[in-house]
Chain A
């Protein structure tokens, strides 16, 4: 029976040969190191989504608008490192104070909010399932949910009874702050809706020579809102709303006084007047909410230790900014909450009722340390940038190597075998390109073409083939005079056939070696250009990470500087070692020299 080589047996033969080859490579110390390192980087590139929960830019994909941490922060393990190694025990970590702000529940129902009240006219807080923030942006750790309900506080007084002016309720959460140092920054939110019995006022307005009357709505029992933070049994600071100075008297006005539905339309659902006239950043959103929260970008109604909303109140205490350091002075119990005071002094001849709905009431503490490698100048996770950066470097290194080796092979074969005018022309072009200074040319071309990874890859491939083409040409020149080529010619084989079947196999060892040795150049070139600022704005590479060191002026953050450079050089070295090993395996002459 004739033994026909099936596809399967061919494949298994190839596999066996490849494994044998790999065995030779791994049997030597240096080449084993190179192959091992390449394997390590391939693993990192493939397993990046499993290794890190964040995306390639170091941002949480579920909340891309919000930073993961305060900018340029240290890694968390610095907290336990001894001081002489650069450790810092006063670093703090990210901390979610309110677990589920979108669906607030009371402590007595197993939730997190406690309350204290003064006066019988105020109801206990109760859950209202069908009123709540419908959707929107939310900070990290804050779950974005649909209408999950809100907590409501109702003030009511029957007609003819006496004023209940000092009625007050405090809704708060107590938490334990375990860190020795202050937070990096803290961000809180509150959303309020006020509804109640109201009256209409006419105010006159004289403008442009005409007198007009403006109809304004006022609550019979307006409310004062005060969001506070502080140590348990210690000092409390008002976070929101910020104090305003009366222009006439210079006195601090009653802040956060939600005293009338001034200027706002009627509630579209109940057709009742509603609203908060202060803070001015309160906005109308679909569904009838007057919302006190804003975005980190607009800072309106948004409680942020870095925003003016907080800086202003703290000047009151003689502290210039940095509220984190004033509030979080020591580890221990802290309190965060809202105090609502009902001002009932308008009319006691009628039934008065005001309801305040509270939703999205949360607090998030950004630590001064984050993750395994800290954060960059935009609060993004450096560790995931480093891991995902492997992909970019491998992608650009291998693609450029393949492309430039392919061009070099084609040029070398053509120049070597065809000779004459083709040879002369191709070699003069390669001379020209060899003389051109690489980096300045890349800089000029990238400035003109625009920074994109693919542009850079094309340029690197077009500028990187010359050396290899010369090697191939020299090899081809020596091979094409050999008898077996003559024989093929005599049989009548075409040029193309001879090049592919007789000459190409003899230069393949050069191809493999050059594939390995072309990678490091491309990797470092990408890093250098990214570092100069020609980075692809959509992708985070190791070079761009290092660019951020200068952008963020963080030259002292060694945990930021060392890893990307180390990875660049490890990747480069691994391919150099592989190239050397291939050279030794495929070039038997070299083995004799030692």
Chain B
């Protein structure tokens, strides 16, 4: 089977997975106690029972609750596939709109920590493998195991305790200083004639404002980023160490040693190339879980991304939001799986698709 048919097969399989996830969502929604129409009704209106009944009927037909089961299901699938995720209970705004505003923060936080922990973890793993069997090796492995089994929120709490409560170095909440609201640092300044038309206004970048902006964001990003990095760096260390250990017993590594090559050359030229395959695919997969890992850390630091929003929705029992977040995260994971599969094939010429 060639690459093309493999891709087609993967895509079809992934589409089926998406449909299954939508079905699961639908089943959960149907199994939930309570009438969704009651949730949509305006509870504060002081109308007659007849008017309320009319409103209920209206809503029922408006939202399609009076339609047969299969039509409802079809509409549900269509809506989710086109990212019409419903409305949020509190603000009554479309969930997709709110989500679009939350995702950048989560991407910034989780993307940053994933990249940092992958780089640091792999480098650390390579250092450890050079000194394997020693105290540094065993303490690194042990430390990774311990830190990896810590609850993430606890790491966050400890960091808050130390760097916020005690030292006051970093803030405890938000993605930018609270007093910025309505008073943002000026990044672009305009100069030109007093009656600005688009043509004769000259924009110039205010570097100080720009640095303030970046600095403010980074300052608030530090603790949550650090939390996530501490938590996940050990996993990359262990993975690198394990795959390297696996490869250095292979015959070609023994051969390389027998040739009289330096240990470093053996490790990095011969062993690492082959050990890198599972590491790279794991990295690709881990990007799929970028949106997943955010719930707890963002909640600890009240970082305004998807995760914190999920937590707030839990407080209001807004199932719509919870399921929308679940759906989007699942989509990410599926996409990352496809990417990882393809990547594996591209970087490893030995792989035959099929």
Contact = CB atoms under 8 A, between A and B. Distances in A.
- Asked if A and B are interacting partners, one says yes
B145 A576 contact: yes
A541 to B, nearest CB: 12
B133 to A, nearest CB: 8
Interface string A510-536: 000000000010001001100111100
Contacts of B151: 524, 527-528, 531, 543, 546, 565, 568-569
A532 B172 contact: no
Contacts of B326: 437, 440-441, 443-444
Interface in B303-354: 310-311, 314-315, 317, 319, 322-323, 325-326, 329-330, 333-334, 337
A533 B157 CA distance: 16
Contact of A448 (B21, B32, B150, B164): B32
A543 B157 CA distance: 12
B244 interface: no
A561 B311 CA distance: 21
A561 B153 contact: no
Interface in A51-70: none
Contacts of A568: 149-151, 154
Interface string A437-463: 111110111011000000000000000
Q: Which of B154, B289, B292, B330 neighbours the largest number of chain A CB atoms within 10 Å of its CB?
A: B154
Contacts of B299: 532
B17 interface: yes
A574 B314 CA distance: 33
B322 A532 contact: no
A517 B177 CA distance: 43
B28 interface: yes
A528 B296 contact: yes
A558 interface: yes
B204 interface: no
Given A447-B322, A520-B149, A528-B296, A562 B314 contact: no
B71 interface: no
Interface in A491-526: 520, 524
Interface string B91-103: 0000000000000
Interface in B147-196: 149-154, 157-158, 160-161, 164-166, 172
B348 to A, nearest CB: 21
Interface in A549-587: 549, 555-556, 558, 561-562, 564-565, 568-569, 572-573, 576-577
B20 A569 contact: no
Given A444-B28, A555-B172, A562 B158 contact: yes
A555 B20 contact: no
A436 B21 contact: yes
A525 to B, nearest CB: 9
Nearest to A547: B153
A435 B330 contact: yes
B48 to A, nearest CB: 34
Interface residues of B, number: 45
A447 B161 CA distance: 30
Given A546-B157, A555-B157, A555-B161, A440 B149 contact: no
A482 interface: no
Contacts of B292: 437-440
B146 interface: yes
Contacts of B31: 448
A95 B151 CA distance: 38
Contact of B165 (A543, A556, A564): A556
Contacts of B150: 565, 568-569, 572
B82 interface: no
Nearest to B328: A440
B157 A565 contact: yes
A593 interface: yes
Nearest to A542: B151
Nearest to A86: B166
Contacts of B329: 437, 440
B245 interface: yes
Name the residue in A440, A531, A564 with the highest tally of chain B Cβ atoms < 10 Å from its Cβ.
A440
B197 interface: no
A421 interface: no
B148 to A, nearest CB: 9
A432 interface: yes
B325 A440 contact: yes
Contact of A573 (B145, B165, B311, B322): B145
Contact of B153 (A447, A528, A573): A528
Nearest to B147: A569
Nearest to B332: A437
B311 A532 contact: yes
6 contacts: A435-B17, A435-B333, A440-B322, A440-B326, A440-B330, A448-B32
Interface of A: 431-432, 435-441, 443-445, 447-448, 520, 524, 527-528, 531-534, 543, 546, 549, 555-556, 558, 561-562, 564-565, 568-569, 572-573, 576-577, 593
Interface of B: 17, 20-21, 28, 31-32, 145-146, 149-154, 157-158, 160-161, 164-166, 172, 245, 249, 289, 291-292, 295-296, 299, 310-311, 314-315, 317, 319, 322-323, 325-326, 329-330, 333-334, 337
Given A531-B151, A577-B145, 14 more contacts: A437-B333, A441-B326, A444-B319, A448-B28, A524-B149, A524-B151, A555-B157, A555-B164, A555-B165, A555-B172, A561-B158, A568-B150, A569-B146, A576-B145
Nearest 8 CB-CB pairs, A to B? A565-B154, A572-B149, A437-B292, A440-B326, A556-B165, A569-B150, A437-B329, A527-B151
